Structure 1
């Protein structure tokens, strides 16, 4: 019988499969038509102005597509994405350090 261990680290194979399944554009994102329409307008306006998009906050329980939408916004704007989570920020300085590294 083989043993299998569960770890907190992402398996490279699982990460590649997850990445391949995520939509890469708003047109590929299924559901939440109103959110897609509004976000599309924000991105189109930013690109027309030649500036970054206005501030956008995605909030809600897990599994609604917040991370996927953030990745799509970064992709559409041609910018890198920095991800973090609340539990990863243990001190006020952690967030300041993360934000000061953004260009």
Structure 2
């Protein structure tokens, strides 16, 4: 039998309380020792180089801490965390809006990245590798690329 405690959606205060229960530093994270050890090395190396940490892809079933780790990475790097989800990015233009709002050092977390449509994936790769995107405007002989 289902029992509903509250009929309303969680507001900002409830959401903040929920996230405050999560660890915010690597030292507070419990479990996955090998992953945490490698992640610590990557973060320390990035800080020593005074650069953002490289691209990281977490995968696995729900509940393993992928979202929590993205929060930790942002906190450890003193960076802003920008979150979105694969299903919400249906067109390359959706991703373009997010990418143009990023600042150097920001952490972009795409939940359920495996659900990104192929055209959005193809748009994401050059953004990750070259920190730029090529956007084709118009069609046929009038087509031109903006980047």
TM-score (norm 2): 0.62
Q: Which runs of 4+ in 1 moved over 2 A?
A: 3-7, 10-14
Instruction: Determine the C-alpha separation between the residues in 2 that align with 1:81 and 1:49.
Output: 20
Q: C-alpha offsets along residues 28-51 of structure 1, whole Å, 9 cap, x if unaligned?
A: 001000110000000000011111
State the alpha-carbon separation in 1 of the partners of residues 64 and 14 from structure 2: 20
What are the equivalent positions in structure 2 for 1:20-99 lying under 5 Å apart? Answer: 20-99=20-99
Secondary structure at the aligned position of 2:72 is classed as helix
Greater strand content: 2
Which whole-Å CA distance do the structure 2 matches of 1:49 and 1:27 have between them? 21
Structure 1-normalised TM-score?
A: 0.86
RMSD (Å), alpha carbons: 1.7
Structure 2, unmatched stretches of 5+, are 104-147
Q: More relative contact order in 1 or in 2 (CA 8 Å, sep 6+)?
A: 1
**Which residue pairs with 1:5 in the alignment?**
7
Q: CA deviation at 1:13?
A: 4.1
Q: Which shifted more, 86-95 or 69-78?
A: 86-95
